[in-house]
Amino acid sequence: MRPGVDITAYQGNVKEARFGVDFFRRFDCVLNGLDNLEARRHVNRLCLAAEVPLVESGTAGFLGQVSVHIKGATECFECQPKPTPKTFPVCTLRNTPDKPIHCIVWAKEMLFPLLFGAPEASDLNETIGAEGSGEDGGEAGQADDPSFYQRREGEGSRQYAERVFRQLYSTKIEELRRMEDLWHSRRPPEPLNLDALLALEANGGSGSAAPAAKGSACKALGLTDAHAVWDVQQNARVFLVAVQAFLDERADELGAAQFDKDDQLAVEFVTAASNLRAACYGIPMQSLFVTKGMAGNIIHAIATTNAIVSGLIVLEALKLLAGAPAACQTSFLHQQVSGSKRLVSRMAAPTSNPACMVCGTAQAGLVVDTHRMTLQQLVDKVLKGRLALLAPSLSCGSFLYEEGQDLEEDEVTFYRSLLPRPLASLPGGGLVNGSIVEVSDQEQQFKAQLVISHREDWDEEVHPEGFELSGSLPAAEAEQQPAAPTATASEPAALPTSAATAAKGPKAELQETADGVVVLTSDDEEAAEAAAATGKGKRKASELAEDDGQDGKRARVQEGTDVVDLLDDSD
């Protein structure tokens, strides 16, 4: 369309300081297609701060959606709650798994950091009782000694791999079997005999000497079909070769390695380790392909879905650049034809949610055990983990905690000294039941209040994270919210656009034909007719979902890496 356009591509973490508010202000609109929720939240808040329209998109298999977010006129990306990652009680993962995902999370979050990462990051080092209480747990309920998983002096990589295998899948399983209270209503796990598996390997003619992995245990062993489910012997071989490869080929990473879904050797290790644990518990084993998707929270992409959604993104961007934001709509791509005989259904862009903690004025309730939860946990789990803040600041009475680049060294030292302290023992009387904490983030557009409620008794199955977060709108502030703009057939709602967008060229109106094709026209009468058609065509998301059996939810956003290409048209 424009062969002379000059495109500047950036590759990096979208949260880097160079991609701040000033960077986003350079654009007339931002088209977003990130692959994880935290990064999407970050871009949403920067676009709000920069007052730049955001066109969001996402796909999940055959499903997809595109939405437009304009500050002060439509809802922002975070006005509607998004699915949060599923969490599992540690005691279930360690002692009584009954689903493949339990074994995969155990291998990824517990075993991988214990062997190759920071041992303190592994929950295998925690003392957990028979049901997670820390009492009467028996030997298997006790924490593993991290020193056991360290390589001993003079120990070969193969010897180390076999020793760890026997500990995980024989010794620890035998200890669990002795915890009889766990198996009244469950089948106890069966230990694996490595010597028998190695004998099978030798009889098969492969020998006990492991081939060099060179970045992939599967390729070294000839297991090239990612969709095949390995048997127990094959999983044992992959486990041993993968451990050897980390020790021999990636020794410089030991102690700091982190699981990455794009790290082939790491995925192979997690697949083998989780399948071996599944074999012990009689749980169906999974292929490398399936395990990678579950471990990396991936819904594998479909090219045609991505192509359709990409086209819908461009259509909404054209409306913004043409100076006609009132014509923007939210589009949903369905797996089956809906009641309107279309695969793509549309609705008017919803207005902002006044209770939104990002673009509105909101108050959230936080239920915690204020004597056990530390300030570090509040910052990491709630503010950064659940709310995706970058540099949170908290204030309550005389208590103050800040993060950011502008702090003096003595301030940083002081605030860090507060992190290990329980909330109830913080300065200024602590954060206790009934405390109202002002939370903000200067690097993003975020300001909200947290109302603290104390609770001592927690059901770990229901709340494995140890807190409960809920949001609501204060009545006094709700009355101060401006009335949402409405569109009529003769007077479309006027939505704000940036000065740069208005300066791009003469304002044009957009009209949608009966076939769903959007065309530009400068005829005011035709534009009014188009607005009328748009108004008649408004439907609720729940109605659209009912047409094809969907549940009305938007396609989920999966977590992963924060790499994004940002394009700048600067010709």
Give residue limits of the domains in the chain.
Answer: 7-82+301-355+488-569, 90-295, 362-472
At residue 406, does pLDDT exceed 50? yes
The domain covering 7-82+301-355+488-569 belongs, at the CATH homologous superfamily level, to NAD(P)-binding Rossmann-like Domain (3.40.50.720)
Confidence of residue 535 (pLDDT cuts 50, 70, 90): very low
CATH of domain 362-472: 3.10.290.20
- Summarised one tens digit per residue, pLDDT across range 293-331 is 999 887 778 999 999 999 999 999 999 999 999 999 999
At residue 447, does pLDDT exceed 50? yes
Work out the number of other CB atoms within 10 angstroms of the CB of residue 396. 23
Question: How confident is the model over 328-346, as a mean pLDDT?
Answer: 88
C-alpha closest to that of 324 among 316, 313, 333, 336? 316
Query: Was 530 annotated as part of a binding site?
Result: no
At residue 487, does pLDDT exceed 70? no
Confidence of residue 334 (pLDDT cuts 50, 70, 90): very high
At residue 569, does pLDDT exceed 60? no
Stated pTM of the model? 0.59
Question: How confident is the model over 494-501, as a mean pLDDT?
Answer: 40
DSSP code of residue 228: S
Query: Was 359 annotated as part of a binding site?
Result: yes
Query: Was 76 annotated as part of a binding site?
Result: yes
At residue 207, does pLDDT exceed 60? no
Query: Was 79 annotated as part of a binding site?
Result: yes
In Å, how far are 39, 48, 84, 195, 263 from 13, measured between CA atoms?
A: 9, 19, 22, 46, 18
Question: How confident is the model over 93-117, as a mean pLDDT?
Answer: 94
| pLDDT value at residue 125 | 54
C-alpha closest to that of 67 among 557, 462, 447, 511? 557
Active-site amino acid positions = 91
Q: Judge whether 101 and 364 are in contact, CB under 8 Å.
A: no
Measure the CA–CA gap between 450 and 435, rounded to whole angstroms. 8
Q: Does 41 or 494 have the greater pLDDT score?
A: 41
Strands 467-472 and 436-441: unpaired
At residue 494, does pLDDT exceed 50? no
Measure the CA–CA gap between 486 and 287, rounded to whole angstroms. 52
Residues in the chain: 571
The answer to whether the 7-82+301-355+488-569 and 362-472 domains have the same CATH topology is no
User: Quick one: what percent of the chain has pLDDT higher than 70?
Assistant: 74
| pLDDT value at residue 381 | 92
Measure the CA–CA gap between 234 and 204, rounded to whole angstroms. 11
Contacts made by residues 146-151, CB under 8 angstroms, sequence distance 24+: 146/114, 146/119, 146/120, 149/114, 149/115, 149/119, 151/247
Confidence of residue 124 (pLDDT cuts 50, 70, 90): low
| DSSP run (H or E) holding 54 | strand 54-60
| pLDDT value at residue 266 | 96
* CATH fold of 90-295: Arc Repressor Mutant, subunit A (1.10.10)
Tell me the residue type at 409: E
Query: Was 356 annotated as part of a binding site?
Result: yes
